[in-house]
């Protein structure tokens, strides 16, 4: 039987002790980037306010109007140049410096704020905004910060597309993610709503195999709160810098 989680303000909890050799899995969501000024999908004034999801975040929408899709993502690329990592990003980069390969940092975000904070080997399960790939051939995705006025084409003649995972597409690297989950001793979700799958199901998978402590950090109680041991409510930028005690 799954115990009832403790849900309270983050200030009511002590640091999470991490012993050398323990494996830590950190999953970050939109709430982390929102504190740096990146608009989220769901908030008033957010990314979808002037756009239907079906038009700008599905393969079908891209096939109907690639020009509009590229204008949408080009605006996001321009916005990405203005934002800076916040204390949560910086704290996770420091955690990576201390834990090395014992930290698996997985993000649902497509921005580069973790990397700009100094994190290495970040797993972008929903792709990267500043990357482009061909919609047809096997050309490898490539770094690309360009803001396009018209839809660009690959050398093969097919349309290039943003290297992000759209609704109805499979997230990147799920086998790698589940391999990491199988070895996890401490699982921490930061700033994710618990509503978007498969990421929202990672914590229930860990509950099923009965291996890891599971902690949530974020402004609001997530949809999957029942699966965590603790839900620490508050801003990621205020809670994450003192969250881990590595011994």
- State which H helix or E strand residue 107 sits in: strand 103-107
pLDDT digits (tens, 9 = 90+) for 191-217: 999 988 999 999 999 998 888 999 999
Ordered DSSP codes for 155-205? TTSSBEEEEEPPTTSPPTTHHHHHHHHHT-SEEEEES--S-STTGGGHHHH
pLDDT on residue 32: 96
Q: What is the mean pLDDT of residues 42-62?
A: 72
Taking each helix axis from N to C end, the angle separating 202-209 and 174-182, rounded to the nearest 10 degrees, works out to 40
Instruction: For the beta carbon of residue 93, count every other beta carbon within 10 angstroms.
Output: 19
pLDDT digits (tens, 9 = 90+) for 91-112: 999 999 999 999 999 999 999 9
Give the β-pairing of 127-134 and 142-143.
antiparallel
Greatest Cα pair distance in the chain = 58
CATH code of 1-38+85-126+171-247, in short, is 3.40.50.1220
1-38+85-126+171-247 and 39-82+130-164 agree in CATH topology:
no
- CATH architecture for residues 39-82+130-164: 2-Layer Sandwich (3.30)
pLDDT tier at 138, thresholds 50, 70, 90: confident
- State which H helix or E strand residue 123 sits in: strand 123-124
pLDDT on residue 39: 75
Mean pLDDT, the chain, integer: 93
pLDDT on residue 50: 66
pLDDT digits (tens, 9 = 90+) for 74-95: 999 999 889 999 999 999 999 9
9: exposed, middle or buried (Cβ count in 10 Å: 0-12, 13-18, 19+): exposed
pLDDT tier at 46, thresholds 50, 70, 90: very low
Domain boundaries, the chain: 1-38+85-126+171-247, 39-82+130-164
Kindly list the catalytic residues.
126
Question: Is the model's pTM score more than 0.75?
Answer: yes
In whole angstroms, give the CA distance from residue 109 to residue 219: 17
Look up residue 235 and give its DSSP letter.
Answer: -
User: Hey, what long-range contacts does 67-74 have (CB within 8 A, 24 or more apart)?
Assistant: 67/150, 67/151, 69/151, 69/161, 69/162, 70/148, 70/150, 70/151, 70/152, 70/162, 71/148, 71/149, 73/129, 73/162, 73/164, 74/146, 74/147, 74/148, 74/149
In whole angstroms, give the CA distance from residue 189 to residue 203: 9
pLDDT tier at 234, thresholds 50, 70, 90: very high
In whole angstroms, give the CA distance from residue 149 to residue 49: 21
Q: What is the mean pLDDT of residues 146-167?
A: 96
Instruction: For the beta carbon of residue 20, count every other beta carbon within 10 angstroms.
Output: 9
């Amino acid at each position: 039987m799954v115990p009832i989680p403790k849900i309270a303000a983050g200030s009511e909890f002590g640091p999470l002790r991490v012993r050398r050799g323990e494996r830590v899995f950190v999953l970050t969501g939109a709430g982390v980037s929102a504190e740096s000024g990146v608009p989220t999908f769901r908030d008033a004034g957010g990314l979808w306010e002037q756009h239907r999801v079906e038009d700008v975040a599905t393969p079908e929408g891209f096939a109907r109007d690639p020009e509009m899709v590229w204008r949408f993502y080009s605006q996001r690329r321009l916005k990405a140049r203005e934002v800076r990592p916040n204390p949560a990003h910086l704290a996770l980069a420091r955690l990576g410096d201390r834990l090395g390969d014992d930290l698996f940092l997985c993000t649902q975000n497509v921005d580069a704020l973790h990397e700009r904070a100094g994190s290495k080997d970040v797993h972008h399960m929903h792709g990267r905004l500043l990357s482009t790939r061909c919609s047809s051939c096997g050309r490898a995705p490539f770094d690309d910060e360009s803001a396009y006025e018209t839809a660009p084409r690959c050398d093969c003649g097919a349309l290039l597309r943003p290297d992000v995972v759209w609704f109805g597409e499979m997230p990147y690297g799920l086998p790698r993610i589940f391999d990491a989950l199988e070895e996890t001793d401490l699982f921490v979700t930061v700033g994710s709503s618990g509503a978007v799958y498969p990421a929202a199901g990672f914590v229930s998978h860990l509950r099923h195999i009965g291996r890891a402590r599971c902690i949530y950090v974020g402004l609001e109680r997530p949809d999957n709160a029942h699966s965590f041991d603790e839900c620490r409510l508050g801003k990621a930028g205020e809670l994450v810098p003192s969250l881990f005690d590595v011994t």
